[in-house]
Amino acid sequence: MPPPDPRQAWRPLPAQQAPSRTRTTPDRELRHRALAALVFGMLALIGLLGLGTDLRKGIWALIFSATVGLAACVIGITAVAKARRTGAYRPRGAIGGIVLGALAALLSVPLLIFYLMFPRQLEDYVTCASQAQTSAQFQACINVLTRSAHVGALGHVAANPPTGSVSPGRAAPTVRPRAVPVAPPDRTPARPSPTGP
């Protein structure tokens, strides 16, 4: 038997084709879940419009927006995950609900934390800003808020010092706000008036 011709011996193997899963349209439950995520995301953003000069209502609006925004994210993510598991197309509105819900939660949670840390300072700011009539007065209200929040944060640190940095036999160091340097009064000696002969 003659040796095989090397050119004919090598042939590329036919590519194994993976069984193509045909995607199906999402079932009714997935479409409703995606629609619910989108509606919840919109409601969460609309809830942020409830912020105003009344801080009590504003707190409830922030809590509502954070809760409904997180619910929109969870419902949208579960709709996308189930569509991927079942081989269905991603239902319309799921990604929109996730994005809107995450945006509302990312806006409302830091504002809520800020209010819980500095409630008195924020109430003073809202009162000042509602009475401001010029942009200079409004800027002065912002400056007062930042200064009072800074001092309030320093007071919070002084009241609750870090526990890991103090040895058992020593007292905790106190943190005091920095003193603002004040220029000394002008005390140049007065020149004697020239008296001539």
SS (H, E, C) 82-143: HHHHHCECCCCCHHHHHHHHHHHHHHHHHHHHHHHHCHHHHHHHHHHHHHCCCHHHHHHHHH
Indicate if 110 and 142 belong to the same structural domain.
Answer: no
Examine residue 43 and state whether it is found in any structural domain, yes or no. yes
Query: 124 and 91, same structural domain?
Result: no
Q: Is residue 151 part of a domain?
A: yes
Question: Do residues 67 and 102 share a domain?
Answer: yes
Same domain? 43 vs 110: yes
**Residue with more model confidence, 123 or 156:** 123
Q: Is the pTM of this model over 0.85?
A: no
Cα→Cα distances 177→38, 52, 130, 144, Å:
47, 32, 29, 16
Q: What is the pLDDT of residue 184?
A: 54
Please count the structural domains in the chain. Answer: 2
Q: Do the domain assignments include residue 85?
A: yes
For residue range 9-19, list pLDDT tens digits in order. 566 655 555 55
* Same-domain status, 87 and 41: yes
Same domain, yes or no: 33 and 112: yes
pLDDT band (50, 70, 90) for residue 165: very low
Residues 113 and 123 both lie in one domain: no
Distance CA 143, CA 188 (A): 34
Q: Is 5 among the domain residues? A: no
Residues 55, 105 share a domain: yes
Q: Is residue 63 domain-shared with residue 107, that is, in the same domain?
A: yes
Do residues 147 and 100 both lie within one domain? no
Domain with 95, as residue range(s), is 25-117
- 9 is a domain residue: no
Report phi then psi at 116, rounded to 5. Answer: -70, -25
